């Protein structure tokens, strides 16, 4: 057997464990050489169960391990950029969870560090790899629906995060819409020119007190002329709502949610079916596996990663434009955001 | 048998004939006493076929007929207001096709004339009576989806009207979106406060040359806080696309298009079904019947009409706000429109 | 205007009135010259409302009217055959409601009478003209699904008829399945060779006491090799259930029920939609119009009627075979039925 | 960590590997102690990749390993029974792929051997654990649809197996319908009383030459009164078709197929979506994981297995009854099958 690719995982919380399972289940050519977490005991217990042999006390030790080819940055958001920069300097390829950082400067610094070090950088915008969104992308790109004209993204969470989290999240546009901003760039293959937001706090007044909104309608003009609208809510009573409709000169494509079963039952009371999959991990499980597959493929076959550093940067800029639009009640050009 | 309600129909084009059939098929308590049309020969031929006995040369003769209780104004848009005002003065109840007029002044004059004369006035926003939209209204009003927060209206025509028509139509917002403006008011039970439009000419450059757009994304803030988005295209390759999604604190409701059949077929090439009903008359046939039923009910039982003069006025104002938003590239308050 | 086709309607109950409306609404070339009903007062009142001028006391008077070209036999089932035979002798074309009769002899007598008189005969199997079933027929006939192999018909009523009716109905196979027998012949374009039934009384013991079953699974081998299964129930709690699935060498086609609206709503409790259209008249309204159109077309243009006398006969034979199969617990060949 | 359950896998073909992955991915409390396969080289290579340390030359060696608690019998069908009996004698719990054997005697011998040895026995009817079928079962068992009356199972393969396989498969009823027989028992919670089959060879004449049919409609009367119909085809042009409809006194439940995505696209040519998942492993992947989970749960917590030896036996009997029905052209009682 040829030499395996060796990776280290920094942060063994929920998403770090998901990536671990993706690698173990489907990427026999990859070995998870070591993990690290600030909650050391929990990390050790989990590593023992999964057969991972090395658990470092500090991510710096992991970065110092010369056998490790690549790292997955799965720590808390505020640490992403610093760790990624250090990883680049240590010559490790980097898979970094989103958002890379809440400031433009730091995201640019990560991109620059990776460039200087000549290491690959992939950002964890997993939805691009989802079976439904991928099919939409395919039908847009192969011109089945002609030239894209209108893009509508529905993205609603089943329930808002804790208020303490809302306060440090950078706000709905950085924390939640950021995925939709990425999706809009992915599907239009273009960059945003201007953003207008109509938003309000309708779900929980505590969110307003924390200086944020929880309901938003975001209109984006793209450079290639496509008009896009995203609608967000922090709380959809029926569960996680993740859909897209793309309309073009020759037709449209829509995707529905995924459901636990296809069962439809009819009684004297009406016709019924199940609610959409509620939990994002369950909903997007296949996408996490696929993004890891493509990250490893980029490393082994020396390709560009499918989600680049710039793909991490642009949605942050869009988030700032969205915020500004809410504050000033007017459309904001991306060129206003530095 | 008790005395029949006697109506006169002014204009025997497509829509005048639809209303005639609605009356003949389902309203035995109504007699179509007379019709009038500027194309007299065609009107006479058609009247003979349908058993309508009187065809006047001039609508003024029809208005002078003392036996006639109510008129249906189905002539060309530019004549609606003048005829309606005269009809009011002649003491006839009025069913007036939409738009009443392309100016705020004239619509207000019609409303005033009806008020002065004490006659009933109903505007022909038929979609309110459609089986699908009615169900959405019901589920909003009975709070099945809680408090309405986001309203999304998709309204796309199968193909643009002739350029000559575009030039006199008042533009897409007066001609096409006007139905959606009405629907947004109907479903939110509120009035628009501010409108922002992102629009372009994507379908046919001739439309741009005529000074109009053919693709638009319209964001509306309503006074009760609901955020609404309408997306319009003059050309949906797959046919007439008429849908709504209403999202509220307790859930959502969506409607799909209507189709010629429910057949779904699966072959080696994929899974197929029919395109949506293409023609607005076919798609909305039941709604025309229902609006006529309710007009007659309002007359016979002396109720308020279900679509009032003000319901004819507000969408015109929204249309002006939308136009202004496109021209000035900013959100426009309805209070700016006089 | 050319001379109108003049028809007489024998029986002004529910179905007679439906045909009247179909003619009045869409067949200006047809005049309803006279009607007759054993309930004379009710017939007269209704005729006055609809503008029909002549109401005869007796159908024999109607048949004696030399101006009448064709009759619609819409009286009670036990009178169909005798009236149709008399009508043939009087030289009238015949549209006869189904079933023509509950005996093979009488149906054959009607066919023979029409043949002798040289008049056209159409049987009222309206479902052939329904938008959904027609589409299935089209996709079978144009070989979109290749050669038909398996045909599955689901046909369930919303609730059983009164027990008094069950007793005289000829049983479920004559009264309810007869439509499905016709559909199976229509879609396969073939004749039944053998029928096997698995049936029981599950809905109401009173039906068993009346000597009938209320739930049945009917397997039919057709002469062209197609295998067909029909499932019937007298009571579907959720309403009228009328579907077909056709499976062939190159694919399948399925039809769903029709619904009052396309609304789907989602709440914390699940995803909901409306029950199928409950009432057969509402569900099949378009088919009644279409069958009348084609009857008139056959008369005016001297074509063969789309549902012939033999189409009225064969389902009766299939009904007898089905009964025999239940009684003897074995597959029964159609050749056993005389 | 507590002591792991140790299993041995006999047969490392497609299904053996699927079970291995299910165990490795989700059952950390289970260790795959050893595997064995008659194709030793291939087995060794695969074991090395997956980290399985022991590969025996002969399943007898594996059975002799005292550390092994349970075996998965994943070898070719003709060896299932003998191996299972030996495994029982060796005191190993048994998970045995379906069909256990093509003779009633041998299946009974396996059941008896397990009973004598006091080991647990589970049969690999994986579809019971599928998300869609499980939901149907739940809605039947909790009486959402009232008392079950009619059960319709659609089960069509995307393409027939090689003729050489058809010849040794025991025929369509033993090889393909056996899953549907199991499903019918599972969903009705009852035993078949009588079976009638209408079948033919429509897909490939070579199948007829091999003495088999490829298209069948199977009617089953169950002891609790439920009437069931299964329709089978060896070739559905559009892919794998696996659906169920259950109809009861209070309603019905239907399941649709699973699809690669929920995308629906509409163009001038019509409305399109993807074909159902084609490959049984892809379609039923979750069910294989779930059956293994429940097998392990039964072992660890000393419960009855969810698919017993009798569940392996009854479908074989039903298969013989179905064959006899085809041969004799009549309904066959299960009591006729010994």
| Separation of alpha carbons D250 and B31, rounded Å | 47
- The DSSP secondary structure of D158-223, one letter per residue, reads SSPPPHHHHHHTT-HHHHTHHHHHHHHHHHHTS-EEEEEEEEE--S-HHHHHTT--SEEEEEEEET
D184 close to D228: Cβ distance less than 8 angstroms: yes
Domain spans in chain A, listed from the N-terminal domain onward? 5-119, 128-278+315-336
D230 close to D153: Cβ distance less than 8 angstroms: yes
B124 close to B132: Cβ distance less than 8 angstroms: no
Tell which C residues from 245 to 264 touch D, by Cβ distance under 8 Å. Answer: 245, 247, 249-252
| Of A282, A156, A201, A247, the residue nearest B252 (C-alpha) | A156
CA distance C296 to chain A (A): 39
- The DSSP secondary structure of B35-82, one letter per residue, reads EE-SSHHHHHHHHHHHT--EEESSHHHHHH-TT--EEEE-S-HHHHHH
The CATH superfamily holding the domain D130-283+314-336 is Dihydrodipicolinate Reductase; domain 2 (3.30.360.10)
pLDDT band (50, 70, 90) for residue C280: confident
Phi-psi map region of A146: left, alpha, beta (phi>0 left; psi -120 to 50 alpha): left
Helix (H) or strand (E) holding A62: helix A59-64
Who among A200, A219, A330 is closest to B225 (CB)?
A: A200
Question: Any idea what the Cα angle at residue A204 is, between residues A200 and A206, rounded to 5°?
Answer: 100
| Average pLDDT score over chain A | 95
Q: What mean pLDDT is predicted for residues B246-273?
A: 97
CA distance C195 to chain D (A): 10
The pLDDT assigned to B2 comes to: 59
B12 close to B46: Cβ distance less than 8 angstroms: yes
Contact C268 B258 (CB under 8 A): no
CA distance A233 to chain B (A): 9
B272 → chain D, closest CA residue: D272
Q: C91 and chain B: CB distance < 8 Å anywhere?
A: no
The pLDDT assigned to D2 comes to: 59
pLDDT band (50, 70, 90) for residue A1: very low
Residues 6+ apart with CB under 8 A from C162: none
Who among A267, A268, A275 is closest to C266 (CB)?
A: A275
- What share of chain B in percent tops pLDDT 70? 99
Q: Would A5-119 and A128-278+315-336 be classified into the same CATH topology?
A: no
Contact A253 D262 (CB under 8 A): no
Q: In this structure, which topology does domain C128-278+315-336 adopt according to CATH?
A: Dihydrodipicolinate Reductase; domain 2 (3.30.360)
Contact D272 B270 (CB under 8 A): yes
| Separation of alpha carbons C236 and C203, rounded Å | 10
The string of pLDDT tens digits covering residues B277-310 is 988 888 899 999 999 999 999 999 999 999 999 9
Segments of chain D assigned E as strands: 5-10, 30-36, 54-56, 70-73, 93-96, 121-123, 148-156, 192-200, 215-222, 227-233, 241-248, 251-255, 264-267, 270-273, 332-333
Who among C238, C239, C267 is closest to A238 (CB)?
A: C267
Packed helices D14-26 and D285-300: angle between N→C axes, nearest 10 degrees? 60
pLDDT at C151 over 60: yes
Residues 6+ apart with CB under 8 A from B193: B221, B222, B223, B333, B334
Copy the structure tokens of residue D320: 């013989």
Number of C-alpha atoms within 13 angstroms, CB side, residue C169? 23
pLDDT band (50, 70, 90) for residue B1: very low
The pLDDT assigned to D56 comes to: 94
C202 close to D225: Cβ distance less than 8 angstroms: yes
Give chain D positions within 8 Å (CB) of A261.
Answer: 131-132, 134-135, 255
CA distance C122 to chain D (A): 33
Copy the structure tokens of residue A108: 């640019």
The pLDDT assigned to B24 comes to: 84
Copy the structure tokens of residue D202: 């429509």
Question: Any idea what the Cα angle at residue A163 is, between residues A161 and A164, rounded to 5°?
Answer: 105
| Of A224, A223, A229, A218, the residue nearest A325 (C-alpha) | A218
Contact A135 D260 (CB under 8 A): yes
Count, in order, helices (H) and strands (E) of chain C. Answer: 13, 15
Packed helices B40-50 and B14-26: angle between N→C axes, nearest 10 degrees? 20
Torsion of CA D176, D179, D183, D189, to 10 degrees: 120
B163 close to A230: Cβ distance less than 8 angstroms: no
Give chain A positions within 8 Å (CB) of D24.
Answer: 24-25
Give chain C positions within 8 Å (CB) of B28.
Answer: 49-50
Contact B264 C255 (CB under 8 A): yes
The pLDDT assigned to A2 comes to: 59
Contact C221 D202 (CB under 8 A): no
Who among C225, C231, C238 is closest to D251 (CB)?
A: C238
CA distance A230 to chain D (A): 18
| Of B263, D252, B270, the residue nearest C254 (C-alpha) | B263
D269 → chain B, closest CA residue: B238
D201 close to D215: Cβ distance less than 8 angstroms: yes
Contact D225 C219 (CB under 8 A): no
Burial profile A246-259: b = 16 or more Cβ within 10 angstroms, e = fewer: bbbbbbbbbbbbbb
B99 close to C224: Cβ distance less than 8 angstroms: no
Who among B225, B231, B251 is closest to A238 (CB)?
A: B251
A274 → chain C, closest CA residue: C270
The string of pLDDT tens digits covering residues B148-177 is 999 999 999 999 999 999 999 899 999 999
- How many other C-beta atoms lie within 10 A of the C-beta of residue D265? 25
The pLDDT assigned to A184 comes to: 98
Residues 6+ apart with CB under 8 A from A118: none
Which chains does A contact via 3+ CB–CB distances below 8 A? B, C, D
C-alpha dihedral sign at C112, C117, C118, C121: negative
The pLDDT assigned to A162 comes to: 95
**Which residues on neighbouring strands pair with residue A217, listed in sequence order?**
A198, A231
Copy the structure tokens of residue C72: 């619609």
Helix (H, G, I), strand (E, B) or coil at B324: helix
Who among C237, C268, C270 is closest to A272 (CB)?
A: C270
Q: Is the ipTM of this structure higher than 0.85?
A: yes
| Separation of alpha carbons C250 and B266, rounded Å | 9
| Separation of alpha carbons B196 and B221, rounded Å | 9
pLDDT at B21 over 60: yes
D131 close to D256: Cβ distance less than 8 angstroms: no
The string of pLDDT tens digits covering residues D206-257 is 999 999 999 999 999 999 999 999 999 999 999 999 999 999 999 999 999 9
Contact D252 A261 (CB under 8 A): no
Long-range contacts of C64-68 (CB under 8 A, 24+ apart): C64/C90, C65/C8, C65/C33, C65/C34, C67/C6, C67/C33, C68/C6, C68/C7, C68/C8, C68/C33, C68/C34, C68/C92
C-alpha dihedral sign at B294, B298, B303, B305: positive
Who among C139, C258, C263 is closest to B253 (CB)?
A: C263
D145 close to D247: Cβ distance less than 8 angstroms: yes
| Separation of alpha carbons A7 and D16, rounded Å | 29
Contact C271 A272 (CB under 8 A): yes
| Of C234, C245, C276, D144, the residue nearest A265 (C-alpha) | D144
Which chains does C contact via 3+ CB–CB distances below 8 A? A, B, D
Q: What mean pLDDT is predicted for residues B105-132?
A: 98
Per the document, the length of chain A is: 338
Contact B266 D275 (CB under 8 A): yes
Which single residue is written with the structure tokens 């084009």? B13
Query: Which residue of B158, B243, B257, B270 is the best one to mutate when testing the D interface, meaning the one whose CB has the most D CBs within 10 A?
Result: B270
Helix residue ranges, H only, chain B = 14-26, 40-50, 59-64, 77-89, 104-117, 131-141, 163-168, 172-175, 177-188, 205-209, 280-283, 285-300, 309-328
The pLDDT assigned to C15 comes to: 94
Contact B238 D275 (CB under 8 A): no
**Which residues on neighbouring strands pair with residue A284, listed in sequence order?**
none
D22 → chain A, closest CA residue: A25
Query: What backbone phi and psi angles, to 5 degrees, belong to A329?
Result: 60, 40
CA diameter of chain C: 67
Query: What backbone phi and psi angles, to 5 degrees, belong to A32?
Result: -85, 100
**Which residues on neighbouring strands pair with residue B314, listed in sequence order?**
none
pLDDT at A47 over 50: yes
C243 close to A213: Cβ distance less than 8 angstroms: no
Q: Do the strands A192-200 and A215-222 form a parallel or antiparallel pair, or are they unpaired?
A: antiparallel
The string of pLDDT tens digits covering residues C208-220 is 999 999 999 999 9
Q: Mean pLDDT in each 10-residue stretch from start to end of chain D (338 residues)?
A: 85 93 86 94 88 92 97 95 98 96 97 98 97 98 98 97 92 96 98 98 96 97 98 97 98 97 97 93 91 97 97 98 97 96
Query: What backbone phi and psi angles, to 5 degrees, belong to B287?
Result: -70, -35
Choice among A28-32, C174-178, C287-291, D95-99 with the minimum mean pLDDT: A28-32
| Separation of alpha carbons B135 and B141, rounded Å | 10
The string of pLDDT tens digits covering residues A129-152 is 999 999 999 999 999 999 999 999
Who among A21, A251, A268 is closest to D250 (CB)?
A: A268
Give chain C positions within 8 Å (CB) of D221.
Answer: 198
B230 close to D232: Cβ distance less than 8 angstroms: no
| Separation of alpha carbons A254 and D264, rounded Å | 5
- What share of chain C in percent tops pLDDT 90? 90
Q: What mean pLDDT is predicted for residues A284-311?
A: 96
**Which residues on neighbouring strands pair with residue B7, listed in sequence order?**
B32, B70
Q: Do the strands B264-267 and B270-273 form a parallel or antiparallel pair, or are they unpaired?
A: antiparallel
Who among D238, D268, D276 is closest to B268 (CB)?
A: D238
Assigned CATH class of C5-119: alpha beta
- What share of chain D in percent tops pLDDT 70? 99
Q: What mean pLDDT is predicted for residues C154-172?
A: 94
| Separation of alpha carbons B259 and B276, rounded Å | 4
Contact D331 C225 (CB under 8 A): no
């Amino acid at each position: 057997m040829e030499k395996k690719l060796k990776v280290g995982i920094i942060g063994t919380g929920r998403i770090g464990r998901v990536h671990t399972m993706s690698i173990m289940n489907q990427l026999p050519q990859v070995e998870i050489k070591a993990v690290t977490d600030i909650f050391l005991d929990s990390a050790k217990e989990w590593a023992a169960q999964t057969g991972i042999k090395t658990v470092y006390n500090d991510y710096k030790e992991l970065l110092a391990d010369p056998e490790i080819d690549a790292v997955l940055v799965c720590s808390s958001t505020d640490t992403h950029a610093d760790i990624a920069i250090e990883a680049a300097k240590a010559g490790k390829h980097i898979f970094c969870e989103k958002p890379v950082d809440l400031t433009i400067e730091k995201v640019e610094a990560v991109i620059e560090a990776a460039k200087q070090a000549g290491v690959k950088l992939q950002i964890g915008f997993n939805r691009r790899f989802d079976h439904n969104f991928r099919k939409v992308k395919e039908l847009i790109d192969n011109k089945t629906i002609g030239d894209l004209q209108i893009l509508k993204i529905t993205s609603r969470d089943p329930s808002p995060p804790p208020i303490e989290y809302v306060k440090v999240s950078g706000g709905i546009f950085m924390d939640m819409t950021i995925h939709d901003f990425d999706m809009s760039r992915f599907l239009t293959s273009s960059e945003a020119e201007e953003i207008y937001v109509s938003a309000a706090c309708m779900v929980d007044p505590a969110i307003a007190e924390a200086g944020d909104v929880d309901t938003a309608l975001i209109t984006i003009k793209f450079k290639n002329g496509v008009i896009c609208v995203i609608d967000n809510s922090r709380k959809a009573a029926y569960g996680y709502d993740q859909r897209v409709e793309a309309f073009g000169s020759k037709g449209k494509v829509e995707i529905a949610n995924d459901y636990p079963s296809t069962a439809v039952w009819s009684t004297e009371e009406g016709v019924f079916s199940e609610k959409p999959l509620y939990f994002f991990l369950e909903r997007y499980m296949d996408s996490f596996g696929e993004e890891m597959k493509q990250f490893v493929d980029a490393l082994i076959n020396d390709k560009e990663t499918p989600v680049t550093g710039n793909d991490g940067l642009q949605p942050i800029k869009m988030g700032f434009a969205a915020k500004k639009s809410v504050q000033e009640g007017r459309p904001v050009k991306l060129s206003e955001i530095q």
